[in-house]
Amino acid sequence: MDTRKIEAFTKVFEHNSFSKAGRALFLSQPTISAHVAALEEELGVQLFDRIGRTVVPTKAGEILYHHAKNIFESSELAISEIRKLENRVVGKLDIGASTIPANYLLPKAMAEFYMKYPEVTLDLSIGDTEEIVTMVKGNFLMLGLVGGLVTSQGLIFLPVLKDSLVLVMAHDLYQKYAYLSLHDLMLTVPWVVREEGSGTRQAAGTWLNKVGLSFSGLREAIIVRNAGVLLECVRLGMGAAITSYVTVRSEIKDGSLVSVDIGHNSIERQFYIVYNKKRTLLPAAQKLIKHLQHNLTPIKI
pLDDT at 265: 74
Residues 91-161+270-295, CATH architecture: 3-Layer(aba) Sandwich (3.40)
C-alpha 236/C-alpha 171 separation (Å) is 10
Decide if 40 contacts 78 (C-beta within 8 A).
Answer: no
107 by DSSP, 3-state: which? Answer: helix
Q: Where are the domains of the chain?
A: 3-87, 91-161+270-295, 163-269
Decide if 263 contacts 71 (C-beta within 8 A).
Answer: no
Of the pLDDT bands very low, low, confident and very high (cuts 50, 70, 90), residue 90 is: confident
What values do phi and psi take at 218, rounded to 5? -100, 160
pLDDT at 181: 92
What is the pTM assigned to this prediction? 0.70
- Percent of the residues in the chain that have a pLDDT greater than 70, as a whole number: 95
C-alpha 78/C-alpha 205 separation (Å) is 50
pLDDT at 123: 93
| CATH, range 3-87 | 1.10.10.10
Residues 163-269, CATH architecture: 3-Layer(aba) Sandwich (3.40)
Q: Do domains 91-161+270-295 and 163-269 have the same CATH topology?
A: yes
